[in-house]
Amino acid sequence: MYTAGFLLFVGIFGLAFWVLIFLSAFALPYAITMYVIEILKGKKADKAAH
């Protein structure tokens, strides 16, 4: 009787787990790296302008 609910719970938990793995392993480091690169580009442009 509770099998369908349990499988739904496990499925949703599994998807959420893999989304968290993706975010922590790829998306967040990528976003931080791009942000830092843009900051460094901005500083280089400031130095070239002066």
**How would you write the chain as a 3-class SS string?**
CCHHHHHHHHHHHHHHHHHHHHHHHHHHHHHHHHHHHHHHHHHHHHHHHC
Rg, C-alpha atoms of the chain: 21
Structure tokens at 40: 């460094």
Domain boundaries in the chain? 19-50
> How does residue 5 score in pLDDT terms, banded at 50, 70 and 90?
very high
Q: Which pLDDT does position 43 carry in this prediction?
A: 82
Q: What angle do CA 31, 14, 11 make, to 5 degrees?
A: 135
pLDDT exceeds 80 at position 1: no
Report field, pTM of the whole predicted structure over 0.75? no
Region 7-18 average pLDDT: 97
Q: Which pLDDT does position 3 carry in this prediction?
A: 96
